[in-house]
Amino acid sequence: MSLPVGATIGILGGGQLGRMLASAAAKLGFRTIVFAPGEGLPAAQTASQHMDADYLNTRALQAFAAACEVVTLEWENVPVAALDVITAAGTDVRPGKTALDVAQDRASEKRFLESIDIACAPWREVDSLADLKGAIEEVGPDAILKTRRDGYDGKGQVRLKAGDDLNAAWESLKGAPAIIEGLVPFEVEISIVLARGMGGEIATYPVPRNHHAGGILRRCEVPANVSSATRAEAVDKARRLADALEYVGVLALEFFVLADGSLLANEFAPRVHNSGHWTPEACLTGQFENQIRAVAGWPLGPTDLLAPAEMDNLIGEDAQAPLSDLLQRGSLTLYGKGEIRPGRKMGHVVRLLRD
C-alpha cells in the first residue's frame, strides 16, 4: 500500500543519515518526524518535526506512531523493543524487526549470512578469556576482537597481532560478549548498496571500492575496478540477503575481495550507508531518495551512474581545512554537527570524474 503525496514518514535516529533522508523525503513532498533523544541533532535540522525522547519511552513512541503513516530508521541499533511499540500501535516500520535483530548482533549477523551461503571471514564467538585464547588458535593471531553489539566506526574493536596480550584485549571489552574475526589478505573492499521495494523489486547501485582506515570509511571510488564476475557475484549475494530478510528499504553489504576474485562478506547495514554517499550526485536517483521511495511503497528510481565518482569523508579535523579547499574538491555536504571531534564524521565531498 503506497503512501499518498504529503504523508508523514517517521525516522528513528537523529544523525546525518536521517538528515539526508529527511531532505530526500521533502523533495518528494513528504513530511518527516525524527524521533531521537537529544537537542540540535543533525536530522532534527532538516526534518519537519523532532520528537526528543528516549527510544524506550513507550508513550512518546505511541505518539510518534500515531503521527506517522510509516516509520523507517537511520540507525541499526535502535532497540527492537521500540519497533514493537510502534508496530503494536498500528504503524509499519520498514525495514522491520528481523533485519535489525540480525544486524544488531555480529554473531547472529554472520550466522545469518552463512545460512544463505554468503561466506564470511573466519570467526568465533568469544565470551571469556578462555574462548579468546582458543579462538586465536583457530582463526590465527592476526585478528580483530569486536563486541557483538553497539560497535560502529571502529568503536568496540581491538586489533590483535601475534604476541599481543590477550588478557588486556579481553579486559578492554569489559566483559561484553564478543566475536573474533581472522584477518583475511584481501585485495580491495567493495560494497553493494541496493534498494528493495515493497513488491520485492530491487535496484542495485554501481559498486564502489571502499577505503577504510582505523575502522572508518575514508573514501569510495566508483566504479570499483573488479571483474564483472566478482561484481555479479556480490550483487547476487546482496540480493539474496535482501530477499531472505524480506527487506524494504536500502541496505549495504560489505565485502572483502581476495586475490583470486572470491568474496568474503564483512557486515551488512540495514539502512542507507556511508559507502553510498556519492549516489545523490553521481546517480539518477540517490540512496536516500530510494530509501524513501521504498518505505513509501513508491516505485524505485533508476540507479544509473552519470559519471565515475570519488567520495571522501571529512572526519574530525578534515573539516577544519579552509572552506575554499573543501569546496574546490567537489560537491560538499556538511552534517550540521557543532563540535569537531577526532573520528567524528563531519561531512563528505563527492567529485564527478568527467570525460
Residue 152 identity (one-letter amino acid): Y
Nearer to a copy of itself, 177 or 308 (CB): 308
Cβ atoms of residues 210 and 275 within 8 Å? yes
Query: Which residue in 315, 339, 341 sits closest to 326, CA to CA?
Result: 315
Other residues' Cβ atoms within 10 Å of the Cβ of residue 325: 9
Taking the complex as a whole, how short is the minimal distance between the CB of residue 205 and a copy of itself, in angstroms?
Answer: 16
Decide: 148 and 106 in contact? Cβ < 8 Å: yes
Q: What are phi and psi of 270, to 5 degrees?
A: -85, 60
CB of 29 to a copy of itself, least distance (A): 3
**Distance of closest approach, residue 354 Cβ to a copy of itself, in angstroms:** 8
Using the minimum distance from each CB to a copy of itself, give the nearer residue, 151 or 316. Answer: 316
Residue 215 or 299: which CB sits closer to a copy of itself?
299
CB contact set of 328 (below 8 Å; sequence gap of 6+): none
Q: What separation, in Å, do the N-terminal and C-terminal C-alpha atoms of the chain show?
A: 43
Between residues 243 and 304, which has the closer beta carbon with respect to a copy of itself? 304
Closest to a copy of itself by CB, 5 vs 259, is: 5
Among residues 106 and 337, whose Cβ is nearest to a copy of itself? 337
Pairing label, strands 8-12, 70-73: parallel
Structural contact between residues 239 and 204, judged by C-beta atoms closer than 8 angstroms? yes
Which grid cell is 124? Answer: 568465533
- Segment (H or E) for 328: helix 323-328
Q: What is the β-pairing status of strands 8-12 and 31-35?
A: parallel
**Is-contact 292 9, C-beta < 8 A?**
yes
Asked if 291 contacts 71 with a C-beta cutoff of 8 angstroms, the reply is no
Q: Least distance (Å) from a copy of itself to the CB of residue 77? A: 25
CB 311, min distance to a copy of itself, A: 14
Kindly state the smallest distance separating residue 39's Cβ from a copy of itself, in Å: 13
Nearer to a copy of itself, 177 or 336 (CB): 336
Residue 197 beta carbon to a copy of itself: minimum distance, rounded to whole angstroms:
12
Q: Which is nearer to a copy of itself, 15 or 96 (CB)?
A: 15
Give 169: exposed, middle or buried? Use CB within 10 Å, 0-12, 13-18, 19+.
Answer: buried
- Grid coordinates given for 88: 503494536
Where on the chain is the footprint of a copy of itself (CB under 8 A)? 2, 5-6, 19, 23, 26-29, 31, 45-46, 48, 284-285, 293, 298-299, 301, 304, 306-307, 319, 323-324, 327-328, 331-336, 338, 347, 352, 354
- Minimum Å gap between C-beta 132 and a copy of itself is 43
